[in-house]
């Protein structure tokens, strides 16, 4: 099984400028150092334009650092010869599935990456079916992707990446196009893969309720890493979040307002259930 | 009724193996000045319905009504209709094609054959309404803007036609908290101060729930609920079954009510929730 200590992705003092912008503007990212271990589920949060997507792209070598280094399972992303390995290790799921669906049927789309690995066709078939089942796409296998709904398309995109059996998936606001049931389903699936197979997940999100489900939250602002900690620590730091135009979960925000009204709530409230339980026990004791 | 449909049915690719009935027998009406939501899971037909409302798609059977009149197929009539009913697509910034923000917004009024002087006036007014700094932004390339600014430019491009109805397909998709807040402030202002009828399709009810007067719920192309916001949002279990979710703060209130606390559950903002819980304290103390 997976050891918690094995590093999947490492970013060493990374600085990144979009080409042509050097010296004229701020770097898109600077001084970024952190590691993600196998089996870790990291939420990456920050305002629009803070560098979240840029950082994700650095992790699967779609971009190469201007300074510093990104290592994927110890391999530098700057080395062209090992790009396929880097990209097989870190699979990317984009915000808009239209940007990554290529084939004329769902089945072929899921198989696309596998075919490029030159796997035997039986193996490809098995993996396609297994992944389709995992994401509830069995009935759509013969459908053309462009006629599916946004949520269905995103699940096809995820299936295409998961079929490659990556060690880490990089998700750029994967639920932006999904309905709540689609979100629940996709996030549950990803969490399951994370727990059962030790898949590392780096998940960019604008939704504090989604970030609250991660093991760890990393906060970016103006290209810099400004916080890194457990959800209970980062999402309850409202002064920090508000100064960036972010917010905590509804439970954190409401608890803060109620505390300001003199309600003696405990400090560690993060999820709805915790707030409801605390309020109920306060009522019973009053 | 100001705008609506009567027994509207739409089939994509009729007469082919891919024929899909996207909408079935939909009848509804919105009044002038309403803030309406069309909600439903991915693939339920929201975007298809929306594209009928300004004549972009034609019903397979049934009709679309505007000001009591059936929307016909006359080309000139449809052009006039589309000036009065503005449609903002999902991720509209992906369709930007102009070199400057000014030209992007000026496209529709120019196309309408307005004098350049009037065009400029329209662009400036539209920018001002969206709260964007015209002097700073009008000569910039649209792709240089932040995600939130791009979305506002896309909306300004439609506002430049001075529509009476503004229809937006998933307007907050992929925007962060601050941008979503700005966008809803804009829509509230257009609705309340300028009297625009606003129709939004969404599956994120977080901010929208508090603003809506009227709500349609679609599932698999059928209209499964329709009515005043308070009535529709009162049916929490049914919405959950449909794959939808009430705002987290509403869920907290339901959690409290389920535990027997006498709180109102039709609460969609943090401040409302705070007042409701404060009132609860007072009742208990007296």
Confidence (pLDDT) at A18: 82
B 103-142: CB under 8 A from A = none
- Phi, psi for A72 (deg, rounded to 5): -115, 115
Q: Which residues of A20-58 are buried (b: 16+ CB within 10 A; e: fewer)?
A: eeeeeeebbbbebeeebbbbbbbbbbbbbbbbbbbbbbb
* Closest residue, chain A, to B43 (C-alpha): A149
Tell whether B79 is within 8 A of chain A (Cβ): no
Contact B146 A49 (CB under 8 A): yes
Confidence (pLDDT) at A265: 93
Confidence (pLDDT) at A285: 77
Specify the residue for token string 């003092």.
A13
Q: Which residues contact A139 (CB under 8 A, 6 or more apart)?
A: none
CB A29, CB A58: distance < 8 Å: yes
Over residues A3-14, mean pLDDT = 84
Is A268 contained in some domain? Answer: no
Look at residue A3 and tell me whether its pLDDT is greater than 50: no
Mean pLDDT computed over every residue of chain A = 90
What is the C-alpha separation between B211 and B28, in angstroms, rounded? 19
Domain count along chain B? 2
* Nearest Cβ partner for A177 among B40, B173, B281: B173
* Closest residue, chain A, to B176 (C-alpha): A206
Contact B177 A275 (CB under 8 A): no
Q: Which chain A residues are Cβ-neighbours of B255 within 8 angstroms?
A: 272-273, 275-276
Local confidence band at A25 (pLDDT 50, 70, 90 cut-offs):
low
CATH number, domain with residue B34: 3.40.50.300
Sign of CA dihedral A73, A77, A82, A83: positive
pLDDT digits (tens, 9 = 90+) for B109-145: 999 899 999 999 999 999 999 999 988 889 999 988 8
Q: Are B13 and B96 part of one and the same domain?
A: yes
What is the C-alpha separation between B130 and B118, in angstroms, rounded? 19
B 38-57: CB under 8 A from A = 40-44
Q: Which chain A residues are Cβ-neighbours of B271 within 8 angstroms?
A: 257
Q: Are B35 and B59 part of one and the same domain?
A: yes
Torsion, Cα of B152, A249, A154, B24 (10° steps): -80
* Closest residue, chain A, to B246 (C-alpha): A180
Element (H, E) at A225: strand A224-229
Which of B192, B207, B235 corresponds to the end of one domain?
A: B235
Q: Are B80 and B31 part of one and the same domain?
A: yes
A161 or A285, greater pLDDT: A161
pLDDT digits (tens, 9 = 90+) for A86-123: 999 999 998 888 888 889 999 999 999 898 888 899 99
Local confidence band at A2 (pLDDT 50, 70, 90 cut-offs):
very low
What is the C-alpha separation between B167 and B154, in angstroms, rounded? 12
CB B160, CB B109: distance < 8 Å: yes
CA–centroid distance for B95 within its chain: 18
Is A286 contained in some domain? Answer: no
Contact A286 B179 (CB under 8 A): no
Local confidence band at A188 (pLDDT 50, 70, 90 cut-offs):
confident
Element (H, E) at A189: helix A180-197
Q: Which chain B residues are Cβ-neighbours of A245 within 8 angstroms?
A: 176-178
Other C-beta atoms within 10 Å of A190: how many?
22
Over its C-alpha atoms, chain A yields an Rg (Å, rounded) of 20
Q: Minimal Cα–Cα distance from B148 to chain A, Å?
A: 8
Q: Minimal Cα–Cα distance from A241 to chain B, Å?
A: 11
Mean pLDDT computed over every residue of chain B = 92
Contact B20 A180 (CB under 8 A): no
Q: Minimal Cα–Cα distance from B280 to chain A, Å?
A: 9
pLDDT digits (tens, 9 = 90+) for A189-230: 889 889 988 999 999 998 999 999 999 999 999 999 999 999
Specify the residue for token string 């503007």.
A25
Q: Which chain A residues are Cβ-neighbours of B175 within 8 angstroms?
A: 48, 206
Burial group, residue A251, by CB count within 10 angstroms (0-12, 13-18, 19+): buried
Over residues B147-152, mean pLDDT = 90
Q: Are B231 and B252 part of one and the same domain?
A: no
CB B174, CB A43: distance < 8 Å: no
Q: What is the percent of chain A where pLDDT is above 70? A: 96
Look at residue A21 and tell me whether its pLDDT is greater than 70: no
Local confidence band at B11 (pLDDT 50, 70, 90 cut-offs):
very high
Confidence (pLDDT) at A4: 45
B 160-179: CB under 8 A from A = 170, 173-179
CB A164, CB A88: distance < 8 Å: yes
Q: How many pairs of residues across A and B have Cβ atoms under 8 Å apart?
A: 122
Structural tokens at position B16: 């082919």
User: Chain A: which residues have CB within 8 Å of chain B?
Assistant: 47-49, 95-96, 144, 147-152, 173, 176-182, 206, 209, 245-247, 249-251, 253-254, 257-258, 261, 263, 272-273, 275-276, 279-280, 283, 286
**Domain boundaries, position A60:** 7-230
Look at residue A128 and tell me whether its pLDDT is greater than 80: yes
Contact A48 B285 (CB under 8 A): no
Q: Minimal Cα–Cα distance from B270 to chain A, Å?
A: 6
Confidence (pLDDT) at A1: 43
Q: What is the percent of chain B where pLDDT is above 70? A: 98
Q: Which chain B residues are Cβ-neighbours of A177 within 8 angstroms?
A: 42, 170, 173
Is B121 contained in some domain? Answer: no
B 222-241: CB under 8 A from A = none
* Closest residue, chain A, to B90 (C-alpha): A177
What is the C-alpha separation between B284 and A86, in angstroms, rounded? 61
Over its C-alpha atoms, chain B yields an Rg (Å, rounded) of 20
CB B16, CB B66: distance < 8 Å: no
CB B132, CB B50: distance < 8 Å: no
Contact A275 B252 (CB under 8 A): yes
**Domain boundaries, position B271:** 247-286
Specify the residue for token string 């280094």.
A69
| pTM over the 0.80 mark | yes
Which of A197, A139, A86 is closest to A189 using CA atoms?
A: A197
Look at residue B285 and tell me whether its pLDDT is greater than 70: no
Q: Are B93 and B193 part of one and the same domain?
A: yes
Confidence (pLDDT) at B198: 97
Look at residue A39 and tell me whether its pLDDT is greater than 90: yes
CATH number, domain with residue A29: 3.40.50.300
Local confidence band at A24 (pLDDT 50, 70, 90 cut-offs):
low
Is A204 contained in some domain? Answer: yes
Is A218 contained in some domain? Answer: yes
Tell whether B143 is within 8 A of chain A (Cβ): no
Q: Are B231 and B282 part of one and the same domain?
A: no
Q: Minimal Cα–Cα distance from A220 to chain B, Å?
A: 13
Element (H, E) at A183: helix A180-197
Q: Which chain B residues are Cβ-neighbours of A212 within 8 angstroms?
A: none
Which of B109, B104, B75, B90 is closest to B38 using CA atoms?
A: B90
Contact A147 B18 (CB under 8 A): yes
Q: Which residues contact A100 (CB under 8 A, 6 or more apart)?
A: A92, A93, A94, A157, A160
Domain count along chain A? 1
Q: Which chain A residues are Cβ-neighbours of B204 within 8 angstroms?
A: 180
Q: Are B92 and B191 part of one and the same domain?
A: yes
Contact B248 A209 (CB under 8 A): yes
Burial group, residue A284, by CB count within 10 angstroms (0-12, 13-18, 19+): exposed
Local confidence band at A83 (pLDDT 50, 70, 90 cut-offs):
very high
Q: Are B64 and B183 part of one and the same domain?
A: yes
Q: Minimal Cα–Cα distance from A73 to chain B, Å?
A: 30
User: Strand, coil or helix: what is B72?
Assistant: coil
Is B55 contained in some domain? Answer: yes
Confidence (pLDDT) at B283: 59
What is the C-alpha separation between A210 and A193, in angstroms, rounded? 16
Is B126 contained in some domain? Answer: no
Contact B177 A206 (CB under 8 A): yes
Helices (H), chain B: 46-53, 75-84, 101-111, 116-130, 134-137, 147-159, 177-192, 205-208, 229-233, 236-241, 248-258, 270-285
What is the C-alpha separation between A161 and B52, in angstroms, rounded? 35
Q: Are B212 and B261 part of one and the same domain?
A: no
Look at residue A5 and tell me whether its pLDDT is greater than 50: yes
CA dist A266 → A164, A247, A281, B71 (Å): 45, 19, 11, 59
């Amino acid at each position: 099984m997976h050891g918690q200590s094995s590093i999947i992705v490492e970013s060493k003092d990374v600085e990144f400028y979009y080409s042509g912008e050097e010296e004229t503007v701020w770097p898109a990212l600077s001084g970024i150092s952190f590691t993600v271990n196998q089996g870790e589920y990291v939420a990456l949060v920050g305002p629009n334009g803070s560098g979240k997507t840029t950082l994700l792209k650095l992790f699967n070598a779609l971009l190469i650092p201007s300074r510093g280094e990104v290592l994927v399972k110890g391999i530098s992303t700057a080395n062209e010869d090992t790009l396929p390995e880097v990209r097989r290790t870190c699979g990317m799921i984009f915000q808009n599935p239209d940007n990554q669906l290529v084939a004329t049927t769902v089945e072929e789309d899921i198989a696309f990456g596998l075919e490029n690995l030159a796997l035997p066709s039986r193996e490809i078939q098995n993996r396609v079916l297994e992944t389709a089942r995992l994401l509830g796409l069995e009935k759509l296998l013969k459908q053309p992707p462009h006629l599916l709904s946004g949520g269905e398309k995103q699940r096809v995109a995820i299936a295409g990446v998961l079929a490659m059996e990556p060690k880490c998936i990089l998700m750029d606001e994967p639920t932006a196009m999904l309905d709540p049931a689609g979100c629940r389903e996709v996030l549950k699936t990803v969490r399951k893969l994370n727990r059962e197979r030790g898949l590392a997940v780096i998940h960019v999100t604008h939704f504090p309720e989604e970030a609250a489900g991660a093991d760890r939250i990393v906060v970016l602002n103006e290209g810099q890493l400004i916080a890194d900690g457990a959800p209970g620590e980062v999402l309850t730091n409202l002064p920090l979040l508000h100064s960036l135009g972010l917010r905590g979960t509804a439970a954190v925000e409401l608890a803060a307002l109620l505390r300001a009204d003199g309600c003696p709530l405990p400090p560690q409230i993060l999820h709805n259930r915790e707030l409801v339980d605390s309020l109920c026990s306060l009522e019973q004791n009053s | 009724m100001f705008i609506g449909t009567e027994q509207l049915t739409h089939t994509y690719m009729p007469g082919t193996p891919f024929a899909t009935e996207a909408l079935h027998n939909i009848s509804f009406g919105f009044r002038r000045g309403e803030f309406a939501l069309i909600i439903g899971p991915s693939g339920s037909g929201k975007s298809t319905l929306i594209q009928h409302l300004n004549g972009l798609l034609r019903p397979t059977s049934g009709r679309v009504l505007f000001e009591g009149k059936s929307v016909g197929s006359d080309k000139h009539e449809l052009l006039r209709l589309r000036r009065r009913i503005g449609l903002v697509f999902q991720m509209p910034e992906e369709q930007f094609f102009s070199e400057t923000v000014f030209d992007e917004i000026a496209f529709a009024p120019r196309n309408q054959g307005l004098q350049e002087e009037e065009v400029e006036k329209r662009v400036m007014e539209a920018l001002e309404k969206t709260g964007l700094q015209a002097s700073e932004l009008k000569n910039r390339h649209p792709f240089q803007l932040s995600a939130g600014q791009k979305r506002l430019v896309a909306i300004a491009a439609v506002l430049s036609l001075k529509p009476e109805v503004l229809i937006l397909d998933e307007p907050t998709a992929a925007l962060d908290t601050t941008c979503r807040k700005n966008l809803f402030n804009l829509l509230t202002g257009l609705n309340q101060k300028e009297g625009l009828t606003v129709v939004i399709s969404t599956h994120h009810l977080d901010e929208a729930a508090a603003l809506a007067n009227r709500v349609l719920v679609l599932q698999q192309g059928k209209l499964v609920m329709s009515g005043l916001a308070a009535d529709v949002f009162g049916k929490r279990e049914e919405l959950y079954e449909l794959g939808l979710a009430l705002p987290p703060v509403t869920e907290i209130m339901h959690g409290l009510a389920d535990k027997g606390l006498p709180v109102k559950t039709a609460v969609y903002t943090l401040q409302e929730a705070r007042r409701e819980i404060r009132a609860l304290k007072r009742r208990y103390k007296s």
